[in-house]
A = this chain, B = another copy of it.
Amino acid sequence: MYKIRTNRGEIFETHGETLLQVLQSHAIYLPASCGGKGICGRCKLRIVEGKSKTSSFFGISEDEKKLGYVLACQTYPESDIIIEVPEKLITVTERISAAKLWLVEKPFKDNPSLFEPLVKKVSLKIEPPTIENSKADFENIRQTLNKKISISRKLVSLLPEFLRKNKWQITVVLTEKEIIDFIEPDTKLYGVAVDIGTTTVAIALIDLEEGRVIDIASCYNSQISYGDDVITRIIYAVENKNGLDILRKCIVDDINALINTVFMKHRDGKILYVTISANTTMAHIFWGINPKYIREEPYTPVLNHYPVWNAAQAKLLIEPNAPVYTVSSIAGYVGGDIVAGILASQMYLQEEISLFIDIGTNGEVVIGNKQWLVTASTSAGPCFEGSGISCGMRATSGAIESFSYNKNSDSFKIKVIGDMPPSGICGSGMIDIVSELFSEGIIDQKGKLIKGFSQWIKEVNDEQRFIISENCYITQADIDNIIRAKAAIYAGISTLLEEVGISEKDISKVYIAGGFGEFINIKKALKIGMLPNLPENRFQFLGNTSLAGAILCTLSYQLRETAEEIADKMTYIDLSRSKKFMDEYISALFLPHTDWERFKELS
């Protein structure tokens, strides 16, 4: 028995397991898309002190080796050791709060018959063939099912032994048109819903028989190393040899690692259905389709409606025949993630006009009701997802998620996810910080930190910083970044409203989506001029609606059809050449806005 100490202060014991196993058993999930076989090179960590034995160094360079890097899945401690846990871990939410599930449960509460996944488990009692009534095995199944169904060459070749071994009582997995697997009767059917964001990837493991979300896991999109936003990713894919393949491998490996992590405890079943919800570029890259022309006017995707291909073609390490459905996109800059979001928000069912805002690396906006839907996209940047900000992080344990400042005492209070020492700031925390510092006059209308107005402002490397803790601060550049992001979002909303000839006042509901964690402080977001100035009770924060919509499509074939209808109905308006948008954006680069009239209730 040896002790393992992490750089974060935890102490674990090992009794002969690999480092990967020890960390997993304490819910620290390193990415391992190969499932711990030492062949993906992704569970890299550094041993700071102590002895250990490592059986393979796949994917670790000589330089890294000298620094102590090993593959966690191939390493066994041989003394007490100290390790450095990588920053980019997989986050798994095992006990999902009711608040998070509200969105994905609502449609089925309203109409239980909607629960009907595309893949189904069917038990069949087959009549064995006789000389008098001889039938081919596959026709025998077709007749028992009373359906003209298809099957793959590989699967049908397994049929005769499977039938006989199971004495003509078998369980098959069916889609609408095809038998996709033979399973043991007690094998559970799982589905996976995937949200591929430019910055963050999230998946939900779903029990397809009980219609229940089991675990949710997320991590950063590894493509971040190749650029922060979709444009730089497209450039990378186009201008580098194998660029597209490299980016594709990043996201496929991420998803495989997430699946491995959540599926570890569910080896009682098979994953037989996948829904992909992603922005247009991410969906193209996921499928290995060149996104080149999305970047060039008139911003043309290769396809918006994806045929249902399968897991083998997607390179997902699950049942190769499992269908992989991709939620339809609208245009080059409004993807299936937004269609999924509208599905989850249910605004497509309502008589009144709603506004939907998805604040991710792109900021997409949708206005409409049950009759019509209009959408546009602005480039917000990844700051609200914790990327491109000095101490930014996703809304996971250790993230500052709220902040309040008291000018009189020049002191502040923070709330950290998981009630632990802060290790970074997530999107909602950033909005709070900028909003509070502006309200209390610590930053001016242009967002500049005013030197001397707080003891927490320090100059480091010629730049002002507001210091929150030993390792958490926000710099002038960070604030400028946040203001540009909020300006893009606000300008998108106001331009789109004008385009469709609607005033803010006509909006009865504003749905906010994005990876902000459990919540966003609407009042504070209003104060910085990020959102239209409406009564607070009209706003509702929905969380990750892209994932929620993907879950709905996985649980319900009808809702998947509805998603297609939403995609067909939605009209895209291109703001990229709109003078109006540029004017709005420039005006919104102030706190809250150059046009005080619009925010007069606030002031």
B-binding residues in A (CB < 8 A):
129-131, 134-139, 142, 150-153, 156-157, 159-160, 287-290, 292-293, 297-305, 307, 309, 313, 329, 331-332, 572, 574, 577
Please measure, in the bound complex, the distance between the C-alpha atom of A528 and the C-alpha atom of B578, giving whole angstroms. Answer: 92
Contact status B130-A303, CB under 8 Å: no
Given contacts A129-B298, A151-B307, A156-B303, contact A134 B331 (CB under 8 A): yes
Contact status A131-B302, CB under 8 Å: no
With a CB–CB cut-off of 8 A, which chain B residues contact A298?
A: 129-131, 134
Contact status A290-B136, CB under 8 Å: no
Name 15 interchain pairs, CB-CB below 8 A, sorted by A.
A129-B298, A131-B298, A131-B574, A134-B300, A135-B300, A136-B302, A137-B300, A137-B303, A139-B304, A153-B289, A153-B307, A157-B287, A157-B288, A157-B290, A160-B292
Contact status B160-A129, CB under 8 Å: no
Q: How far is the CB of A433 from chain B (nearest CB, A)?
A: 38
Contact status B302-A157, CB under 8 Å: yes
Please measure, in the bound complex, the distance between the C-alpha atom of A293 and the C-alpha atom of B292, giving whole angstroms. Answer: 52
With a CB–CB cut-off of 8 A, which chain B residues contact A131?
A: 297-299, 574, 577
Q: How far is the CB of A152 from chain B (nearest CB, A)?
A: 8
With a CB–CB cut-off of 8 A, which chain B residues contact A157?
A: 287-290, 302
Please measure, in the bound complex, the distance between the C-alpha atom of A307 and the C-alpha atom of B153, giving whole angstroms. Answer: 8
With a CB–CB cut-off of 8 A, which chain B residues contact A292?
A: 160
Contact status B304-A136, CB under 8 Å: yes
Residue of B nearest to A280 (CB): B136
Residue of B nearest to A300 (CB): B129
With a CB–CB cut-off of 8 A, which chain B residues contact A130?
A: 298
Task: Please tell me how many copies of the chain the complex holds.
Answer: 2
Q: How far is the CB of A405 from chain B (nearest CB, A)?
A: 45
With a CB–CB cut-off of 8 A, which chain B residues contact A138?
A: 302-305
Residue of B nearest to A151 (CB): B307
With a CB–CB cut-off of 8 A, which chain B residues contact A297?
A: 131
Residue of B nearest to A137 (CB): B302
Q: How far is the CB of A147 from chain B (nearest CB, A)?
A: 13
Among A157, A287, A299, A577, which residue has the most Cβ atoms of chain B within 10 A? A157
With a CB–CB cut-off of 8 A, which chain B residues contact A151?
A: 307
With a CB–CB cut-off of 8 A, which chain B residues contact A305?
A: 136, 138-139, 142
With a CB–CB cut-off of 8 A, which chain B residues contact A136?
A: 300-305, 329, 331
Please measure, in the bound complex, the distance between the C-alpha atom of A422 and the C-alpha atom of B595, giving whole angstroms. Answer: 103
**Known contacts A150-B307, A160-B300; 16 further A-B pairs (Cβ under 8 A):** A129-B300, A131-B297, A131-B299, A136-B301, A136-B303, A136-B304, A136-B331, A137-B300, A138-B304, A139-B303, A139-B305, A151-B307, A157-B288, A159-B302, A160-B292, A160-B302
Please measure, in the bound complex, the distance between the C-alpha atom of A153 and the C-alpha atom of B310, giving whole angstroms. Answer: 10
Given contacts A157-B290, A160-B293, A307-B150, contact A134 B332 (CB under 8 A): yes
Q: How far is the CB of A534 from chain B (nearest CB, A)?
A: 31
Given contacts A129-B300, A153-B313, A304-B136, contact A160 B290 (CB under 8 A): yes
Please measure, in the bound complex, the distance between the C-alpha atom of A87 and the C-alpha atom of B325, giving whole angstroms. Answer: 54
Please measure, in the bound complex, the distance between the C-alpha atom of A495 and the C-alpha atom of B437, giving whole angstroms. Answer: 100
Please measure, in the bound complex, the distance between the C-alpha atom of A206 and the C-alpha atom of B133, giving whole angstroms. Answer: 39
Q: How far is the CB of A333 from chain B (nearest CB, A)?
A: 10
With a CB–CB cut-off of 8 A, which chain B residues contact A160?
A: 290, 292-293, 300, 302
Please measure, in the bound complex, the distance between the C-alpha atom of A290 and the C-alpha atom of B157, giving whole angstroms. Answer: 6
Please measure, in the bound complex, the distance between the C-alpha atom of A494 and the C-alpha atom of B562, giving whole angstroms. Answer: 62
Please measure, in the bound complex, the distance between the C-alpha atom of A465 and the C-alpha atom of B160, giving whole angstroms. Answer: 47
With a CB–CB cut-off of 8 A, which chain B residues contact A159?
A: 302-303
Residue of B nearest to A332 (CB): B134
Please measure, in the bound complex, the distance between the C-alpha atom of A292 and the C-alpha atom of B158, giving whole angstroms. Answer: 12
Please measure, in the bound complex, the distance between the C-alpha atom of A150 and the C-alpha atom of B300, giving whole angstroms. Answer: 19
Q: How far is the CB of A538 from chain B (nearest CB, A)?
A: 32
Residue of B nearest to A301 (CB): B136
Please measure, in the bound complex, the distance between the C-alpha atom of A299 and the C-alpha atom of B131, giving whole angstroms. Answer: 8
Among A129, A313, A329, which residue has the most Cβ atoms of chain B within 10 A? A129
Contact status B299-A134, CB under 8 Å: yes
Return the 6 tightest CB-CB contacts between A and B, nearest first. A138-B303, A136-B301, A136-B304, A150-B307, A157-B289, A131-B298
Q: How far is the CB of A269 from chain B (nearest CB, A)?
A: 26
Residue of B nearest to A297 (CB): B131
